Amino acid sequence: MDSLISAAARALAAGDALRALKHVALRDDPPALALRGIAMAQLGELARSRELLKRAARGFGAHEGLARARCVVAEAEVALAQREFGAPPRALATAMATLEAHGDRTNALQARLIAARRCLLLGRLDEAAALLAPVDTLGLPPLPAAVAALAAAELALRPLRMADARAALARAEDAARRAGIPALQAEVAQAQALLLQPAARRMDGGAPQPLRLHEVAALLGSDALVVDACRHALRAGDAVLPLARRPILFTLLRALAEAWPGDAGRDALIARAFRLREADETHRARLRVEMGRLRALVAGLADIEATPRGFALRPRDGREVAALAPPMDGEQGELVALLADGAAWSTSALAQALGASQRTVQRELAELEAAGRVRAIGQTRARRWLAPPLTGFTTILLLPAALPPE
């Protein structure tokens, strides 16, 4: 390696991207292109960074597989920052295997952490857990140890394993302090703040009651019959009845839970489930049909009784009923939750993370834009979507696969 390349690499390791560029700015050989790409990423020029890294990867020959693998890892990290998930994960896995085979444990670990963070963003928690399982943060340098601990904390928070999340955040805080990087310390502090912010609302029994993550975990771990509007399911201990694909039935069930221990009136149920201001006998007949379907679905957990005014939810075994609502109203909660991380997302990445069609995501983004809750930057294929940071509560329960699988 020549002296300029070595000097640029040392500058990048020290976080001085401008000094690194001074050494290699006028060079177009693959090592220089790779270093220029990493420098541009540190300066926030992500699009230019990916272009340079791709050119560098193409420039390395067949006998330079290690250098090419390092470029693939760097490009994957930039793509993650851009919320671009179009590249097949197989390329990153191949690069990680190449790095491990050549003994480059540092960059192999970086590849593993990138893959795990990508899986977390897409809600693929089992895959993320498998990637993080071999990582021992106790034996790592401070920077990768902090990144790995943050990923482990998020993995624990999604299914509300609060003890594991707190332990991982403590490791992340210690590693970030030893690394001495202010931005990393701020990221850890932001993650710790999630534990103190309201994450959901309990809607039964009068005024809404804000709940923090540990309180939600305690509620779901109790023997209460929980109508969970964060994940659209009915939960009673270990029993879970998913209703995400039965929106009308879930709306009716949620209304009954919020009215418990009393009943919900027929006209109010029709207005809420069918979105009609005035009800006639046809709508009341439809309500009876839907209530019959709901009664059959929840038969093992609760009864639904007809009352003179409407219907009432009667849980089995003397359980209490809890209605758990998201921290914010609206049908685009999952979309807003993803955008709340402050990154610029493409519609294709949002669709992949939500498991929805791009057309559905585009329609919801248009509604949010009209309401002033999101904004677009760029045009056509380069268009990205941003949302202002949310304050006062956390949206972790709205992220894909936030709670135990249905």
Domains of the chain, by residue range, sit at 3-195, 200-325, 333-398
Q: What is the mean pLDDT of residues 274-284?
A: 85
Q: What is the mean pLDDT of residues 329-338?
A: 78
Q: What is the mean pLDDT of residues 292-313?
A: 94
Give residue-wise pLDDT tens across range 148-184.
Answer: 999 999 999 999 999 999 999 999 999 999 988 888 8
Would 200-325 and 333-398 be classified into the same CATH topology?
yes
Q: Are strands 198-202 and 321-325 parallel, antiparallel or unpaired?
A: antiparallel
Q: What is the mean pLDDT of residues 115-136?
A: 93
- Residue 59's alpha-carbon distances to 54, 97, 184, 210, in angstroms, are 9, 21, 33, 56
In this model, does residue 68 exceed pLDDT 70?
yes
CA-closest candidate to residue 323, choices 331, 310, 313: 313
Q: What is the mean pLDDT of residues 138-147?
A: 90
- The whole-angstrom separation of Cα 57 and Cα 131 is 25
All residues at 6 or more sequence positions from 297 whose CB lies less than 8 Å from its CB, including other chains: 241, 243, 246, 249
Instruction: Supply the DSSP symbol for 202.
Output: E
In this model, does residue 404 exceed pLDDT 60?
no
Check if CATH label 1.25.40.10 holds for domain 3-195.
yes
Averaged pLDDT score across all residues of the chain: 89
Confidence band (pLDDT; 50, 70, 90) for 37? very high
For the record, the structure tokens of 233 come out as 């399911």
Confidence band (pLDDT; 50, 70, 90) for 134? very high
Q: What is the mean pLDDT of residues 297-314?
A: 94
Least confident of 152-161, 236-245, 280-289, 338-347: 338-347
What's the pLDDT at 250? 95
- Its CATH class, for the domain covering 200-325, is mainly alpha
- HSE of 299, CA atoms in CB hemisphere, 13 A: 5
Do residues 398 and 333 make contact, with C-beta atoms less than 8 angstroms apart?
Answer: yes
In this model, does residue 252 exceed pLDDT 90?
yes
Task: Write out the H or E segment, with its range, that includes residue 95.
Answer: helix 89-101
- The whole-angstrom separation of Cα 80 and Cα 76 is 6
Could you tell me where the DSSP H helices lie in 182-280? 182-193, 213-221, 247-259, 266-274
Confidence band (pLDDT; 50, 70, 90) for 390? low
- The fold adopted by the segment(s) 333-398 is Arc Repressor Mutant, subunit A (1.10.10)
- The whole-angstrom separation of Cα 10 and Cα 290 is 67
